[in-house]
Amino acid sequence: MKMIPQAVDAIIVHLIEHNYLNEERFACAFVRGKFRIKKWGKLRLERELKMREISSYSIKKAFEEIDESEYLKTLDHLVLKRVAQEKEKNSYKKRKKVADYLLYRGWESHLVYEKLLEYIK
């Protein structure tokens, strides 16, 4: 807006004081939304927040928004859905395709492989 630096600083201070600019609130809303709507895992969420230069403290607080049982239930649902969609007959290839999909979405590898062994024999 081509404003003088003092005016920009005054506006930013005002926005922070009145809680319009709040990094922690943004991180919490981002994590809640991307987890519930896009079904992203914690690794992807953390990577996206770090890319936006959000502090580690805010990221940690945001992850408290995700209930652990809901997190595991969502992973379970995603694995079942993806296994049902996958047409591959070879169980090793099928497991790899499903794992690649889930790992891309940011789910922890130990959880993914544990669930895959449970569902694909």
Question: Which positions of the chain have pLDDT values less than 50?
Answer: none
What is residue 9's predicted lDDT score, i.e. its pLDDT?
A: 86
Which residues 6+ apart lie within 8 Å of 45 measured at CB?
Answer: 30, 31, 34, 35, 62, 63, 106
What is residue 78's predicted lDDT score, i.e. its pLDDT?
A: 95
What is residue 4's predicted lDDT score, i.e. its pLDDT?
A: 87
Block residue for tokens 């694995």:
79
Tokens read off for 48: 């996206």
What is residue 56's predicted lDDT score, i.e. its pLDDT?
A: 95
What is residue 45's predicted lDDT score, i.e. its pLDDT?
A: 97
What is residue 84's predicted lDDT score, i.e. its pLDDT?
A: 92
What is residue 16's predicted lDDT score, i.e. its pLDDT?
A: 84
| Residue ranges per structural domain of the chain | 5-63, 68-119
pTM for the predicted model, two decimal places? 0.83
What is residue 20's predicted lDDT score, i.e. its pLDDT?
A: 84
What is residue 97's predicted lDDT score, i.e. its pLDDT?
A: 94
